[in-house]
Amino acid sequence: MNDTNQCGPLFVGCPNQGDRGVLLARINDLLDRRWFTNNGPLVQEFEQRIADYVGVRHCVAMCNATVALEIASHALGFAGEVIVPAYTFVATVHALQWQGIRPVFADINPATYNIEPGTLEKLITPKTTGIVGVHVWGRACDVEAIETIAAHHHLQVLFDAAHAFGCSYRGRMVGGFGRCEVFSFHATKFLNSFEGGAVTTNDAELAEKLRLMRNFGFSGYDNVIYQGVNGKMTEVCAAMGLTSLEAVDAIVATNCRNYDCYCRFLADIPGVAIIAYDPLEKNNYQYIIVEIDEQASGVSRDGLVTHLHSHGIIARKYFWPGVHRMEPYRTLQPDAGRSLPNTEQVSARVIVLPTGQAVDEVSVAWVCHVIRDFINCGHRPTGNRGTSPR
Ligand SMILES: Cc1ncc(COP(=O)(O)O)c(C=O)c1O
């Protein structure tokens, strides 16, 4: 391959889109109806179709997953301390801290990047009220182990499934585990509603509480029965969500093709390992995650990212730094890193590469060529070699 980028800029999280004509028709209809928000017909349809897809009884759509996490933790009565991984997007932890709940950071299993159940017992104190598991990159947590420990200590379990729509755990779709699960439909997610999120659960009472709490706590016109907030999804977001949902199989097929291409093109590059998805489970393949072994590759992870950026490939270092190294946590819990060796190690090695509808086989070949070229040449301190041919 030559050294000219013929792909244009490539971004992690470039949005996917369903059928534009169908989306615009839905938007036209909702404008005609003059029902823009407050549990409109498109939101209700979106909720029903998400619930059907996931195989749960209830889906409560929200304005985004962060607010959904806040409302869900409030509805579950989380207080005091809640155990949560530090290897996650900061919103998982902010949702707790925002409500005055102390996050207690659990380390991850370096093979799965998910919370390590073996660390949980020693983190539980009389103040602990719950555990938040995150299905990182759509690979489900060890749900059974977490639920068993939680039940033993009378704790509630909430799963942050922001990455895991369309994924399964032991053959069952993510969405029905714990007391409830939270999905994100942010523009960067493989299935998006511009901004959006949802809580899914099989618990009717909890679902009703979530519905009222996302609408200020109103039960009927003039009667507020809970402390609520404005967490509602708008009709235009539901229009986008429904249109994306109709394209979900095609988007997953594209992600899967890109993932296979990355696996092939990166296979023999020393020190570069792409994470695997269990072929026995369903996955959305929305994340291309590679770990860089600095010794084996001879390059630094950060140098490689800078190099990719200089070639118009906007790779990301998720989740670096771990949440415990971000404010306010690094001030409140300055020693947290000592008990998170796997989080520290994994977050120093990961790179997320572009995929989705905006990426094709030629783009994947180009990204892999840039990586291979940088590694073959060894680390150059500037991290930017332009595009000169070798
Ligand atoms: C694990 C995780 N949780 C929560 C969120 C927050 O989602 P939203 O942007 O919909 O608020 C994200 C967003 O990327 C995420 O990755």
Q: What is the pLDDT of residues 20-64, one digit of tens each?
A: 999 999 999 999 999 999 999 999 999 999 999 999 999 999 999
- pLDDT tens digits along 163-211: 999 999 999 999 999 999 999 999 999 999 999 999 999 999 999 999 9
Domain boundaries, the chain: 10-15+248-315+354-377, 20-246
pLDDT of residue 3: 66
How far is the C-alpha of 213 from the C-alpha of 98, rounded, in Å?
16
Which atom of ligand 1 is found nearest the CA of 68? 11
Q: Which of 313, 60, 26 is nearest to 185 (CA)?
A: 60
Structural contact between residues 65 and 184, judged by C-beta atoms closer than 8 angstroms = yes
The dihedral through the CA atoms of 177, 226, 74, 40 has a sign that is: positive
Structural contact between residues 369 and 1, judged by C-beta atoms closer than 8 angstroms = yes
Which range is least confidently modeled, 16-20, 165-169, 374-378?
A: 374-378
pLDDT of residue 289: 98
pTM: 0.95
- pLDDT category at 355 given cuts 50, 70, 90 is very high
**Ligand 1 pocket member 184 (CB < 6 A):** yes
- For residue 208, give Cα distances in angstroms to 28, 37, 201, 202, 225: 31, 18, 10, 11, 12
Q: Which residue type occupies 99?
A: Q
Residue 7 pLDDT greater than 80, yes or no: no
- For residue 94, give Cα distances in angstroms to 90, 97, 300, 367, 381: 6, 5, 30, 33, 36
**Ligand 1 pocket member 193 (CB < 6 A):** no
Overall CATH class of domain 10-15+248-315+354-377: alpha beta
CATH number attached to the domain at 20-246: 3.40.640.10
How far is the C-alpha of 9 from the C-alpha of 327, rounded, in Å?
31
Q: How many angstroms does the Cα of residue 184 sit away from the middle of ligand 1?
A: 6
Q: How many angstroms does the Cα of residue 183 sit away from the middle of ligand 1?
A: 8
Q: Look at 1 and 365; give whichever has higher pLDDT.
A: 365
Residue whose CA is at the smallest distance from ligand 1 atom 7: 65
Residue 382 pLDDT greater than 50, yes or no: no
Number of Cβ within a 10 Å radius of residue 361? 13
Which atom of ligand 1 is found nearest the CA of 69? 4
Structural contact between residues 113 and 87, judged by C-beta atoms closer than 8 angstroms = yes
- pLDDT tens digits along 70-79: 999 999 999 9
Q: How many angstroms does the Cα of residue 95 sit away from the middle of ligand 1?
A: 10
How far is the C-alpha of 90 from the C-alpha of 283, rounded, in Å?
23
Residue whose CA is at the smallest distance from ligand 1 atom 16: 89
The reply to whether domains 10-15+248-315+354-377 and 20-246 share a CATH topology is: no
pLDDT of residue 385: 34
Residue 318 pLDDT greater than 60, yes or no: yes
Share of the chain above pLDDT 90, in %: 94
- pLDDT tens digits along 103-153: 999 999 999 999 999 999 999 999 999 999 999 999 999 999 999 999 999
